[in-house]
Structure 1
Amino acid sequence: MHLQAYVIEDNPTIRENLVGTLEELTSVRVAGTSATEDEAIGWIEANPDGWDLVIVDLFLKQGSGIHLAERIARRRPSQKIVVFSNYINPSVRKRCAQIGVDAVFDKSTEIDALVDYCAHQCFRIAQAHREAA
C-alpha cells in the first residue's frame, strides 16, 4: 500500500531530491508537485481523494505554505499536512499547530525526521487497509 503525496516546493532541485528520497526510502508515491499556492489548490480541489499527504514549503513562487495549509484545513482525518521549510522557529511551529498542520520539519536539520514521519504514515495506511479487509 502506497501513501499518495503532493509536494509544493518552488526550488526544483529540492523538489526533485525530496521526491526521489521519499520514493526510494518509503512507500510514498508522489502524485504531483507544484511551485505555487494557486497551482497546488487547483490540483488538490480537482483530486480531493488523490492524496494522503501534502508536503509544503512556507515560501513559494506565488503564495505561501501557511495560507495553503489554511485553505485545505478541512480534509479527511486521514489526510495529513506537513510543512517542510528552512524558516522554522517556535512561532512558526505554533502558528502551524493553530491552523491544523500535522507536522513541521526544518529542511536543514530534520530531513531524517520527515522521512521517518512519512514511513510511519505509510505503515498507518497499510495497517488501516489490513484491518478493513
Structure 2
Amino acid sequence: MSGMIERLPGWPALPDLFGWVETGFPGTHAVAGLHHIRIEEHLTDGTYVVRAELPGIDPAKDVEITVTEGVLTLRAERSEETTEKHRTEFRYGTFARALRLPAGAQGEEATAAYKDGVLTITVPVPETKTGTRTIPVQHG
C-alpha cells in the first residue's frame, strides 16, 4: 500500500462523504442551481437571532428577507469575479434558506444587519405569561 489509501468497492470517497455535511444528503435539493445558506440561530432574552454566512454579496441589492405565516425566508444571489495575473474566476449562484420562527415571534418587527460577510437577522419574541388566572363566575 505504501502511502496510498485504498477505496473499498461500494464505499464513497471521503470527499463525497464529507461533502454531505456542507450540502445535505444526496437528493434533498429540489431546485437545481439553488444552494444552501449556512446559519446559526439562537433564542435568548426575548430575541430570536439568525446569523447567515454570506460572503461576497452586496446586501443592499443581492439579499431578500421575507416573513410569511411564521416562516422567515432568506434568499441571496452572489456574482463575484476575482482577477489575478493570468486568470479570472467567477463565483455565482442563488442561495436560499427557510426557517420557522418561534411561537409569538414578531416577524413584522425583524431587523437585519450585514457586516464582514455575516448577515444577522433579529426578531423580537416577547415572553408569554404562563401564570394562573382566576376567572370570576357571574351569576344572575
TM-score norm. by structure 2 comes to: 0.23
> Greater strand share, 1 or 2?
2
Q: Which has the higher contact order (CA 8 A, sep 6+)?
A: 1
Point out the structure with max Rg over C-alpha.
2
